[in-house]
Structure 1
Amino acid sequence: MTACLPRSLRLPRSFSRSLVALACLPLAALAQTPAAPAGAQGVLPEVVVSGSRQEHAAEGLALSYDVLDADALSDAQARSVREALQDLPNTSVKLLPSRFSVTGVTSATGRDGNAGINIRGLGGNRVLLMVDGVRLPRSYAFRTTVFDRDYVSLELLKRVEVVRGPASALYGSDGMAGLVHFITHEPQDFLRPAQGGDTPRTLGGRVAASWSGDDRGRALAATVAGQAADSVQWMLTATGRRAHAMDNQGDIDTPDSRRTRPNPESAESSAVLGKVVLRPAAGQRHTVTLEHVEKSAAVDLLTSRTPLPLAGTPAQVAGATVDEHAWRSMRRDRLAWEGRLQQLDTPLADELQAVLALQQSASRQVGTSVRPALPLRVRDNRYDERTWQLGLQAGKVVRAGAWTHQLTYGLEHVQSRISNLYGGLNPAPPEVFPLKRFPDTRESASGLFLQGESIVGDWSITPGLRLDHFALQVTSQAGFFPPAAQPGQSLSGSRVSPKLGVLYRATPQWSVFGQYASGFRAPEAGQVNGYFENLAERVVILPNANLKPETSRGVELGVRGRLQRLQLDASVFSNRYAGLILDAALIGGAGTAQDPRVFQAINLERARISGVELKGRYDWGAVAGGRLATSFAYGRARGRNLGTGQPLNSIDPAQLALGLQYQRAAWGLQLDARHRSAKRAADIDSSTAVKPPHTQLAIPGSTVLDASLQWRLRPDLRLNLAVHNLTDRKYWLWPDVQGLAASAATNDAWTQPGRSAHVSLVVDF
């Protein structure tokens, strides 16, 4: 049944034969599928911004990309970045349960939420996240404190663009593994002519309400947009959501550390987006954006309580945890102006773009521990980023006979003031609250970029080059030195990032492409100057002002088909990474009072990651009065630490996603299947995941089925119903369980939700 797939893409034997057949049939039909006429079925060509820094026909990009539009996000009832990206090949998002303790040390703390997106085996701050071209804050992790990157509200988005592989040549540092670009709605999205009409509306909007069974979540979102004058449009969106803990398939309900059921949790989120678009003259456009996103959660940490009756030595009984609570919040505010001048027709530029943005983000975690005979213990930790960003970009098209060349060039400057503060009651000696894990820092990055695209006949050649200068400057030692053993140090450097893409249009329907791209990521403030000392645990973490940027080099080859019924993208890639920063490498010490264990962030790891990706959609045409289509996506990667010879734990198991969609005028039905291969012990480096003699939990393979129904009661009113995990399958996801010992009795706490219902109602006006 798998003969239609190349050997490198062969599917796991445990997967259902019927599902395999669904993926193979479109491939078998390639030779029998005629080319699509221009404008067939009224489908407009897909346009991507992130792959070339300007609007570009997606099928002409010499790289791998994904685009999720607002309808796809809404119909799938995606509530988080994880759910939005779950069907993309070699892409995952970590989402852990709230199961941490206020001061406990574990790699799976549950505090980091959507800590980062993993693309082709690398994640965290190695993937650049942007909203409307503005960089999102980084995640920050130090010891038991982790602040995540979940600063996005999906209800504000009209599409998500994902670029795979190094993107530093276009966007600079942090684009080493890839790019995820969140693009928000604009007024014109709600002012288009009503169905059957041709006159744009002067007032429009949308109201959506939803309920989710796996976390008992309730959400409401409303948008109103208007045309104030011929040259003025405006829009305002407000959203809110309340939920409880995400369900799992644990069955131990004790109020202590033996518990595998979720901890009681109350979570809230809200967001506001306002935009004003001005068009004072032909070819001129100005957009002013104000965005506010806020999220919070309160957790009753039953899982950190000591089982009753208390037992042990008098000291153990006195220090036992009998009650523990945590509260966390995060907030992001953005004010941005974007200006565009088109139709310039000057020798240097046909169009100009400018962006000026101010953004402030703040995260806070407060934990309280009650012990029988010891004082109250409180940890109050904060992380803040205040950023301003300036970008100028020009574009010029030159034509000469059959030769067309498009040039894009410009400059960017980003400056962030980063601070942290640790406070509370009863710090671990020798620390004294309040203190800072690293000093107040100003990080800045300036870049000059140049990219050209030459089209000669059926060939497109896209070279690119970027020069970056980064600087990490300590602005204040207050609160850091002392108690740190040495003052914080500054760091700076420069980096050149080249890229080259080539695309050949073999026929009007088929093209092949290849790309070479380099990337880098500058060290962060917490890695360069992070300091920690705990006499009780005999642990010291030292700063390292000699860190160098991480670097990557990637090669990708692919084929793309756009036929009347079939869309197909297939690619193979190989990336090499050097100088990867290991945040806490053990560099010495015996773990005694006289010789504590000493850790430090160092440039240690070299790695190689390679893999394959296949995705597409096949339209079966008219079936029983409706239209039937199949979507498919498969991703598989392998990675190895070249220094140790061990596998990389950041590599996700292979995944196949299959979808069957049936659409009629009044309703649509969709069935989705996701098969994830097992993470075998041979593919895990337990020495970097858990402390010996333990071994890392290896998860089995799983197949999960979802079903959804959309009922279009009227052209402007639709009801979405869905059931997730139809078979109530018990399973784990690899990004969530890294750091869990196979011998632990509570690993069911990290299972995914069982069968759950979801419903949403959307009204357009």
Structure 2
Amino acid sequence: MTTPPRPSAGSPSARVLVLLALGSSQAAAGDTSIVLPTVYVTTATRIEQDITTSPAPIQLIDSVDVKAAGATTLRGILDLAPGLYVSPSGSNLQIRGLGGSDTLYLIDGRRIVGEFSNAFELERISASMIDRIEIVRGPASMLYGADALGGVVNIITKRPAAGLEGGGDIQYGANDRGDGARAMLAGDLRGGNETLNFSFYASHLHRDIYAERETAQVSVPQSGAQVAPSRHPNARIRNGLKDSYEVDVDYRDQADVDTIGGALEWQVTPDVKLTLDLNAMREEREGTYISSRYATNVMAAGKAIQAANIPARQYDDNERLDTALTFDWSLFDTLDLRYRLHYSRYDKDRVVYAVHYADLGYATRNDSASSRSESTMNQWVNELTGVWSPGENHSVLGGLEHRDNNVESTSFDADTRTFDSAFLQHEWQILPSLNAVYGARYDDDSVGGSHLSFQAGGIWTLSPLARLRANFAQGYKAPDDRSLYVDQVNPQGVPMLGAEVINPEQGKTSAHNLDPESSDTFEIGLAGEAAAWDYGVTLFHTSVTDRIERVREGSGLLTYNTFRNINEARIQGVETEGSVSLTPALRARAAFTHFSAENLETGDPLLNTPETLASLTLDYARANWLLHAIVSYAGEQDYSGRAGIETAAGYTLVHLKASYMPPTLAAVEFYGGIDNLLDEKIDPGLGSDPGPYAYLGVRYNF
């Protein structure tokens, strides 16, 4: 992976492979100088830029990284990236201690709609469609507006290309006991000529359940306390429900995900280009868990008796359609304009059934249905941007955006929400060795109000061994529709009531306001490189105000979840990484991140936030072989468990990966690996790991 000034991280990088190849050939010739190819990125400034001159902290996962990860989904790629933390459950990506809904996901620069919490994105975006990934570490609201509080993940798909090229990929894997099996089949095709180019990709992923046996200790309310069903005075409860159930709890759900997409580019004239993008996804998921509260079909005082710790099974049926029409016009040699019309639609259908529905008093499984939710989210985006280059050392980016968001849901009712924004950014090459980028953005949200975001930074190249970088960036996150308007019982059986909702039957008798979250980040970094080694060090400080968090309120049977601005948080720490060539064929890369993440109101650490991350990677390239050994460590962290706030111990994972390209089959690559080779145990409160997991695959490219 790559963080300025150059790649050094948890899976092989194209630049590392260049170093290994050049190191072998030049060592034989007695030449120790190595000139690396320039790497360009766009996400940090929305203008193509040499990664070594970007003041913003940009991390690149290139096409070689994507292939070498041996991943089937986005999660498997990001799992190996240095300085990032993917929870064992796969539902949370953290960038510098901020995760979940604090991260803005883009596909080819377009924001996509999906779960408000981004809970499924890591597991539903197929690795086969990805060419590379660009990640902004830290807030980026100056360029991307709301939701870019913690960072931005821009997934860049395989783009159209002249000629004809493509490939296929098939993979199968399972753990050492044959559990949690997954299978993937994918293909892509790109081609065209000077006028018309196309790209197409498609994939199917099937994943079996990985479960662990647990005991659900059932209880029911009686005289203000929770008692075992066998002690309850109601005969239907006493004779129907058992005091405990043995259940296979699914830590990785069963999933089938189908993806299809591509793009069509038409070069109308030398100065005008039209592009049509399409991406469609369909997924079905199901999994068993222990619900903290489930309504029985037995009434008391006119209300259903609630039972705690009931085995339940959740079903999700989700679809997403994402399409865009882009018009690029080089109006003058110094002025480029782009207009993009983007539409994204997400349909969600969720229902939960009791596993032992008859014991709860229901005649059929369908009668026990709870947490039923059907939602449709529609998003229209009109975006106009322009790049003006008045001189060799200046580049000005400006843009206007109008976004309409509409949510139709059985669990809440929200009006169409509009976002209007304008931004301006100036990049100035002050000296050949000094580059500065600064800008501002104004956003107006019809619900959350207006907000100003600023960003300014510079990078000063003192020598190849010392590049000094400084950056200040702001982020903000407006309250989403779920936190404002949701009115339903969640899959765990607890009422979920938005800030604006009044529901006396569930215990919420008044509405309350939510303010947008905001963050300020200051950072300074030093990086450099020589022929055989490179390094990078960054110090950062982030303060978050008006943080929106889910809280439990009420008492007794009238407890519910809602959302409030409850704290201010401070996150500060250091990121280090580097690499060194040990031999012409062997290179070592290491990364270490340590920070403190504190709730300033309580003095407690932020939940689900390991404060230490470390990785060590060995890359070995020889003839037609490429081998990788990866060791990663995540430190201890606090989380909210059944007994309250609990602490999970740190854990270390060891992965081995390899690929082989037979000299007689130039277009074929065999690859495979073993994840969690040493069977490291992880606290189930974080989401259990399936243990040693082996996979094999074959790719064909032409």
TM-score of Structure 1 vs Structure 2, range by shorter chain: 0.7 to 0.9
Whole-angstrom CA distance in 1 between matches of 2:565 and 2:465: 46
What is the match of residue 647 of structure 2? 698
Whole-angstrom CA distance in 1 between matches of 2:137 and 2:510: 32
The 5 Å alignment of 1:517-666 reads 517-531=473-487, 539-541=506-508, 544=511, 546-584=513-551, 586=553, 591=555, 596-597=558-559, 600-622=562-584, 627-666=585-624
Is 1:676 the counterpart of 2:634 in the alignment? yes
The 5 Å alignment of 1:322-361 reads 324-342=312-330, 344-345=332-333, 349-361=334-346
Whole-angstrom CA distance in 1 between matches of 2:486 and 2:509: 7
User: How big is the shift at 1:651?
Assistant: 2.2
Is 1:710 the counterpart of 2:659 in the alignment? yes
2:83–2:614 CA contact under 8 A, matched in 1:
no
Is 1:209 the counterpart of 2:170 in the alignment? yes
Distance 1:41 1:343, change over 3 A: farther
The 5 Å alignment of 1:359-374 reads 359-369=344-354, 370-372=357-359, 374=361
Whole-angstrom CA distance in 1 between matches of 2:626 and 2:481: 50
Whole-angstrom CA distance in 2 between matches of 1:726 and 1:358: 43
Q: Deviations over 1:340-398 (max 9, x none)?
A: 223723xxx52112221111011221222213362331132123211111211111223
Any idea what SS the aligned residue of 2:645 has?
coil
What is the match of residue 185 of structure 2? 220
Whole-angstrom CA distance in 1 between matches of 2:121 and 2:63: 21
Distance 1:343 1:93, change over 3 A: same
Any idea what SS the aligned residue of 1:762 has?
strand
2:290–2:310 CA contact under 8 A, matched in 1:
no
Q: Deviations over 1:185-234 (max 9, x none)?
A: 1122xx5xxxxxxxxxx32211000012132111110112221x430111
Root-mean-square deviation (Å): 3.4
1:134–1:389 CA contact under 8 A, matched in 2:
no
Whole-angstrom CA distance in 1 between matches of 2:173 and 2:341: 38
The 5 Å alignment of 1:287-436 reads 287-299=275-287, 301=288, 324-342=312-330, 344-345=332-333, 349-369=334-354, 370-372=357-359, 374-375=361-362, 376-379=367-370, 380-399=372-391, 404-421=393-410, 436=411
Whole-angstrom CA distance in 2 between matches of 1:181 and 1:637: 25
Q: Deviations over 1:605-630 (max 9, x none)?
A: 111111111123323342xxxx1111
User: How big is the shift at 1:417?
Assistant: 0.5
User: How big is the shift at 1:66?
Assistant: 1.1
User: How big is the shift at 1:445?
Assistant: 1.2
Any idea what SS the aligned residue of 1:697 has?
strand
Distance 1:540 1:154, change over 3 A: farther
Question: Which AA in structure 2 matches 1:672?
Answer: I
Whole-angstrom CA distance in 2 between matches of 1:592 and 1:755: 43
What is the match of residue 224 of structure 2? none
Q: Which one of the candidate residues 122, 134, 138 is aligned to 1:165? A: 138
What is the match of residue 471 of structure 1? 446
Question: Which AA in structure 2 matches 1:212?
Answer: G
Whole-angstrom CA distance in 1 between matches of 2:508 and 2:577: 44
1:90–1:654 CA contact under 8 A, matched in 2:
no
User: How big is the shift at 1:650?
Assistant: 3.9
Distance 1:459 1:334, change over 3 A: same
Is 1:92 the counterpart of 2:85 in the alignment? yes
Any idea what SS the aligned residue of 2:507 has?
strand
Whole-angstrom CA distance in 1 between matches of 2:155 and 2:45: 15
User: How big is the shift at 1:538?
Assistant: 7.6
Any idea what SS the aligned residue of 1:651 has?
coil
Question: Which AA in structure 1 matches 2:256?
Answer: E
1:528–1:545 CA contact under 8 A, matched in 2:
no
Q: Which runs of 5+ in 1 are unaligned?
A: 1-25, 27-33, 97-112, 192-201, 307-312, 422-435, 473-491, 739-749
TM-score (norm 2): 0.81
The 5 Å alignment of 1:267-286 reads 267-286=255-274
Whole-angstrom CA distance in 1 between matches of 2:527 and 2:309: 58
Whole-angstrom CA distance in 1 between matches of 2:673 and 2:272: 44
1:518–1:552 CA contact under 8 A, matched in 2:
yes
Any idea what SS the aligned residue of 1:371 has?
helix
The 5 Å alignment of 1:108-127 reads 114=91, 116-127=92-103
Q: Which one of the candidate residues 211, 222, 231 is aligned to 2:195? A: 231
What is the match of residue 424 of structure 1? none
Instruction: Judging by fraction of residues, say which structure has more strand.
Output: 2
Question: Which AA in structure 2 matches 1:420?
Answer: S
Question: Which AA in structure 2 matches 1:753?
Answer: P
Whole-angstrom CA distance in 2 between matches of 1:57 and 1:247: 46
Any idea what SS the aligned residue of 2:67 has?
helix
What is the match of residue 69 of structure 1? 62
Question: Which AA in structure 2 matches 1:233?
Answer: N
1:441–1:525 CA contact under 8 A, matched in 2:
no
Question: Which AA in structure 2 matches 1:450?
Answer: L
Q: Deviations over 1:61-114 (max 9, x none)?
A: 112221112221122112233321123344223453xxxxxxxxxxxxxxxx63
1:216–1:244 CA contact under 8 A, matched in 2:
yes
Whole-angstrom CA distance in 2 between matches of 1:253 and 1:525: 34
Whole-angstrom CA distance in 1 between matches of 2:115 and 2:108: 19
Question: Which AA in structure 2 matches 1:731?
Answer: I
Q: Deviations over 1:557-606 (max 9, x none)?
A: 111213322232220100111111133353xx5x258xx55764322211
Is 1:129 the counterpart of 2:105 in the alignment? yes
Q: Which runs of 5+ in 2 are unaligned?
A: 1-18, 20-26, 218-241, 294-299, 496-502
Q: Deviations over 1:293-331 (max 9, x none)?
A: 1111233x375699xxxxxx9x99997999754321221
